[in-house]
Structure 1
Amino acid sequence: MTAYVIAHLRDPQELHPQVLEYLERIQATLDPFAGRFVVHGGPVDVREGSWPGSVVMLEFPTGEHARDWYDSPAYQAILPLRTEHLEGEVIIVDGVGPDHDSAAMAAELRKSGDVAQG
């Protein structure tokens, strides 16, 4: 199952040179795990709530690939270049398959009895 690493990064007041070094080096850490950028910054069209900052989304063949990449010595070596200069959150989440059906998911949730009444 495809997995994604999603980062919500706050825009810095000033871009630190180490962030540029991080950008220059990250692809080499992704390649051994078949990771690729799906979203890398760009304008954010906020439709609900607030969203200060930018979005980065990486795609991996599986959640194991994503976790192994994040925990890899190569990525951990460059991670401080970003984290010391950009605030944000990073998550790893599994995608859904091509047959995913939200109505069927709702039916299963209804059957489980864990739905609030009223």
Structure 2
Amino acid sequence: MTAYALAHLRKAPVHAEVLTYLERIDATLAPFAGRFIVHGGAIDVLEGDWPGDVIVIEFPDLQQARSWYQSSDYQEIKPLRTRHLTGEVILVDGVESGHDSSQMAAAIRRATDR
């Protein structure tokens, strides 16, 4: 099942180390079939507060996403980002093809009605 690395990074002044991180991150993704699908694009906040940028990287599965994040190549460049940008980073499974929210709700109802 497709998995994603998501980051919500707060805006900060541009720093040379962050630019180096950006120049090097794609090479860390390639061995794990990772690819950016959102990388700091325009945000239209509809509810709540969202200070910062959104980054979404797609992987074939959660194991590939974990392996990328834990890889020595990524761990080597990660401090270039974390020294200058704050935020949250998570890994999450996507949904199966044909996902149906109403079926999900029915399963939750059955589980909670017991």
Aligned to 2:112: 113
- Which blocks of at least 5 consecutive residues in structure 2 are unaligned? none
> 1:34: how far off?
0.1
- TM-score normalised by length of structure 1: 0.94
Q: Deviations over 1:48-94 (max 9, x none)?
A: 00000000000000000000000000000000000000001000000
TM-score normalised according to structure 2 size: 0.97
Aligned-residue RMSD, C-alpha:
1.1
In 1, Cα distance between the equivalents of 2:101 and 2:21?
38
Q: 1:114 Cα deviation (Å)?
A: 6.2
- Give the CA deviation at 1:6: 0.3
Q: Report whether the alignment pairs 1:77 with 2:76.
A: yes
What number of residue pairs does the alignment pair up?
Answer: 114
Shift in Å, 1:99: 1.6
Displacement of 1:43: 1.1
From the superposition, tell whether residues 76 and 114 of structure 1 become closer, same or farther in structure 2 (CA, over 3 Å).
farther
Cα distance in 2, alignment partners of residues 114 and 89 from structure 1: 35
Are residues 102 and 23 of structure 1, via their aligned partners in 2, closer, same or farther at CA, if it must alter by over 3 Å?
Answer: same
Local SS of the residue matching 1:30? helix
The corresponding residue for 2:6 is 6
Structure 1: runs of 5+ lacking an equivalent: none
